[in-house]
Structure 1
Amino acid sequence: MCLFCDIVAGKIPSTKVYENDYVLCFKDINPVAPIHVLVVPKKHFDDMNGLAADPEGALYSAEITKAIAEVAKISGVSEAYRTINNCGEDAGQTVKHVHFHVIGGTSLTEKLI
């Protein structure tokens, strides 16, 4: 299993922000902003390409999108936040389980982080 699969399974603790049947959203342990939450599908997909290729990918993509909006609302940043996904090692993906960073709570520049 991967790190995020272990977090989803409850084997590794996390600070949950939001959860439904499809996603788990928890605070990043190395935040880059006051609000930094990871949105992780409960089903394992290596990356965006794996998510897009899977027959259930569209369902999970929709649930991820809804969860991102809910995390922003819960975190009080629904009017201004950034969502980042890294696909592949050269793009900075360090955990091979597709996930999205919801970042906010401070004024962000045009730079990604």
Structure 2
Amino acid sequence: MPIDPTAAYDPDNIFAKMLRDEIPCNKVYEDEHALAFHDINPQADVHILVIPKGEYVSWDDFSAKASAEEIAGFVRAVGTVARDNGLVVRGYRLLANIGRNGGQEVAHLHVHLFGGGPLGPMLAR
């Protein structure tokens, strides 16, 4: 069920549990600002999620409240994950769903990296 991006952060969301190692994930990258792992229901040949380690509900929440260091670290982590997984040369899609109409399902900011082949149109109508 899509979430409200203005809601308070829920520390019991699935990504928060992954950050606390309460739920395992297929990790591909981790540093002081971010964790990246393979999506459990991939929508492309390569489908990786990148999440910040801070408690942010959405991109809007993150851009308004995160420190400059957190923002820079997270954006650099997304780029590193894309490069390390061979996505840059062939091309990839970066997606962050925000709120109900955007289709956000987990109330923790996460960026999807899709790649590994042609991705088709941006939006199906």
Q: What TM-score do you get using the length of structure 1 for normalisation? A: 0.91
Structure having greater relative contact order (Cα 8 Å, sep ≥ 6): 2
Segment drifting more, 59-68 vs 101-110: 59-68
Look up the match of 1:66.
Answer: 76
Look up the match of 1:35.
Answer: 46
RMSD value, Cα: 1.4
In 1, the alpha carbon distance for the partners of 2:38 and 2:121 equals: 23
CA distance 1:55–1:65, shift in 2 (3 Å): closer
Following TM superposition, by how much is the alpha carbon of 1:91 offset from its aligned partner in structure 2, in angstroms? Answer: 0.6
Q: List 4+ stretches of structure 1 deviating above 3 A.
A: none
Could you list the per-position Cα deviations for residues 20-52 of structure 1 after superposition, in whole angstroms to 9, with x for gaps in the alignment?
Answer: 001000000000011100000011101112112
Contact preservation (8 Å) 2:44, 2:116: yes
Following TM superposition, by how much is the alpha carbon of 1:10 offset from its aligned partner in structure 2, in angstroms? Answer: 0.5
The reply to whether residue 47 of structure 1 matches residue 55 of structure 2 is no
Look up the match of 1:77.
Answer: 87
Following TM superposition, by how much is the alpha carbon of 1:55 offset from its aligned partner in structure 2, in angstroms? Answer: 4.7
Contact preservation (8 Å) 2:28, 2:37: yes
Contiguous gaps of at least 5 residues in structure 2: 1-11
Q: What TM-score do you get using the length of structure 2 for normalisation? A: 0.83
In 2, the alpha carbon distance for the partners of 1:75 and 1:67 equals: 12
Structure with the greater alpha carbon radius of gyration: 2
